Amino acid sequence: MIFTQGLVQVYTGNGKGKTTAAFGLALRAIGGGGKVAIVQFMKGRGDYGELAAIKQLAPACLLENYGAAGWVHKDGPKDEHIAEAQKALARAREVVQSGNWDLVILDEVINAVWFGLLPEAELFALLDRKPQHVEVVLTGRNASQHLKARADLVTEMVQVKHPFEQGIAARKGIEF
């Protein structure tokens, strides 16, 4: 294990770059001799550009993604979205509590809580049971004040300007 004291980090906000920052940290941890596990919530599609790249880092990096097809709506998430989020959380518990990974990234877990797919209390229970040496990074928009208070590091991404506002569509290798 490369860390003696694992902390809890939160990357949140409406700006772009939360997952990108977390994956950059994954590269740094692997470069330092660590092992990284990434569990993605609400990302059932397998065609994101970072997935192909990260999978090339196995066995130092494990990546699993969970999510049902279609958009999630806050006013009434579908049962399949809730079920996928619960599967992802169960897997995240296994990964974190195993103690076999130096860094565990729970990508978009904050969104899963915000959309009502997971109770925030279950996420806190996972954090309360993490081994001392495991660093955990949580990403997603709309982190609660309670979650921000629980974290050791909070980074809020703020959108100042985005190409989408000028009619530029998402680009392969940059946005997906």
- The domain ranges of the chain are 8-166
3-class SS letters over the chain: CCCCCCCEEEEECCCCCHHHHHHHHHHHHHHCCCCEEEEECCCCCCCCHHHHHHHCCCCCEEEEECCCCCCCCCCCCCHHHHHHHHHHHHHHHHHHHHCCCCEEEEECHHHHHHCCCCCHHHHHHHHHCCCCCCEEEEECCCCCHHHHHHCCEEEECCCCCCHHHHCCCCCCCCCC
Residue 44 pLDDT: 77
Tell me the pTM.
Answer: 0.93
For 28-65, the pLDDT digits (tens) are 999 999 999 999 999 877 667 778 888 899 999 999 99
For 69-92, the pLDDT digits (tens) are 888 988 888 999 999 999 999 999
Residue 19 pLDDT: 94
Residue 71 pLDDT: 85
For 136-158, the pLDDT digits (tens) are 999 999 999 999 999 999 999 99
Q: What is the mean pLDDT of residues 129-142?
A: 98
Name the CATH topology of 8-166: Rossmann fold (3.40.50)
Residue 50 pLDDT: 77
